[in-house]
Structure 1
Amino acid sequence: MIRRLYRSLTTTAATLALATALAGPVTAQGVPTVDTQNIAQEIRQLQLLASTGLRISEALSLSCDDLTEDGLMIRKGKFGKSRLVPLHASTRAVMERYLDQRRIVRDAGHDLFVLGHGHAPTATRAHVVFVRIVRKLGYRNPTGPGPRLHDLRHTFAVRSLETCGNDLRSVLRHMRALSTYLGHVDIANTYWYLEATPVLLQMIAATAEQTWIGGVA
């Protein structure tokens, strides 16, 4: 489910359709009851979370100066850690389009992600908008549990590990790099994602079984 949601958040056409749908009904003058521009900006923010695995607190703390030629400079990570997050070319292209839109915001401050008032949204608003989106897309019922905003980070990590294929050594090397990329203090926190990757778990189990059989033989 979360993977289908990921795909729904990563195309320009989907972004425009979502922004229009989430704007809701219009007034008698034809004006949307919700600021479509704000919603579009927040969807761009969700796209960044989906494509980088950032924590929502990290994304909302970004300033314009943090977007560099080398990637995103995370200065307010968990436990005060800072790190550089490289950006894929497609993600950078989305960010460049976002910056073009950002320039029309009056009195915009230093925050990278801003709404109409010129400042970053609150974490609470980000969570609320995410829930509205997943409900609009049919991935969450009006009441009850469903995909969470933090699941975008989990999905990024799992998809990243799956690109290693069936090469166990590659998985272990990638795990160390992924731990740094995600800003984990302890690599043990990164190993948790193996539990959410059935394909990799099966490979590790098969390798362990072969090793054990080989030792017995």
Structure 2
Amino acid sequence: MTDLDDGHLDIVGAKARRSRRLPLTDQIVEILAVCDQRSQARFGAHQTFFVSAAGTPVTAAAVGVIFRRIWDQAGLPRPTAGRQPRPYDFRHHFAYANLERWMGEGTDVTAMLPYLSRYMGHATFESTYYYVHTSPDFLDAYATIARESQSLLPEVGFE
């Protein structure tokens, strides 16, 4: 369900049948409003916001096909070996970009993880914490923080 007037998109029954509400920027609302007007003009009212050229709900497979077509039309290179780019990769980038932005701003990443977790629709914080553990930038920054904070703690001896 989408409420463009209020600027949000409801993800209903997605991964593991969980739902969540995502806020939308004004720019995205404008783009989605045009899409909605065109699809309603062509197909009338429909149950899902995103519909195919036939007016049926868009499947994950169709998203992948369209993504690869757009990728190729944009002239972006594809790796010759290994995993090909997927729409899901944007989700990972979103998580890493937020972690890096928060670190750069000096924001407490740990305090922000519940928000990121909810936004991404994770069932547990461990799922979100994965991004912290696998972010090279975060690990480098953490090593610097840990090294600088060593002088704050007194040396402990066991004599």
* Structure 2 residue 127 is the aligned partner of structure 1 residue 189: yes
Structure 2 CA distance, aligned partners of 1:88 and 1:154?
A: 20
By how many angstroms is 1:161 displaced? 2.1
1:124-152 residue CA offsets vs partner (Å, 9 max, x unmatched): 12112222322332231577532122101
The equivalent of 2:22 in structure 1 is 85
Structure 2 CA distance, aligned partners of 1:144 and 1:202?
A: 26
* Structure 2 residue 102 is the aligned partner of structure 1 residue 167: no
The count of aligned residue pairs is 151
Structure 1 CA distance, aligned partners of 2:21 and 2:59?
A: 23
In the TM superposition, structure 1's runs of 4+ consecutive aligned residues that sit over 6 Å from their partners are: none
* Structure 2 residue 5 is the aligned partner of structure 1 residue 67: no
**1:1-217 mapped onto 2 (5 Å cutoff):** 66-68=1-3, 69=6, 71-106=8-43, 109-136=46-73, 137-141=75-79, 145-164=83-102, 165-167=104-106, 169=108, 171-216=109-154
Structure 2 CA distance, aligned partners of 1:129 and 1:70?
A: 25
Structure 1 CA distance, aligned partners of 2:53 and 2:121?
A: 31
Structure 2 CA distance, aligned partners of 1:197 and 1:142?
A: 25
- Cα 1:110–1:168 shift into 2, 3 Å: closer
Identity among equivalent positions (%) equals 28
Residue identity matched to 1:134: W
Q: Which runs of 5+ in 2 are unaligned?
A: none
Q: Could you tell me whether the CA contact under 8 Å between 2:7 and 2:25 is conserved in 1?
A: no
Residue identity matched to 1:182: M
Q: Could you tell me whether the CA contact under 8 Å between 1:140 and 1:147 is conserved in 2?
A: yes
Q: Which runs of 5+ in 1 are unaligned?
A: 1-65
Query: Which TM-score applies when normalising by structure 1?
Result: 0.61
- Cα 1:143–1:121 shift into 2, 3 Å: farther
Q: Could you tell me whether the CA contact under 8 Å between 1:83 and 1:181 is conserved in 2?
A: yes
- Cα 1:202–1:128 shift into 2, 3 Å: same
Q: Could you tell me whether the CA contact under 8 Å between 2:7 and 2:29 is conserved in 1?
A: no
Range with bigger deviation, 176-185 or 191-200: 191-200
Structure 1 CA distance, aligned partners of 2:81 and 2:67?
A: 14
Structure 1 CA distance, aligned partners of 2:58 and 2:11?
A: 18
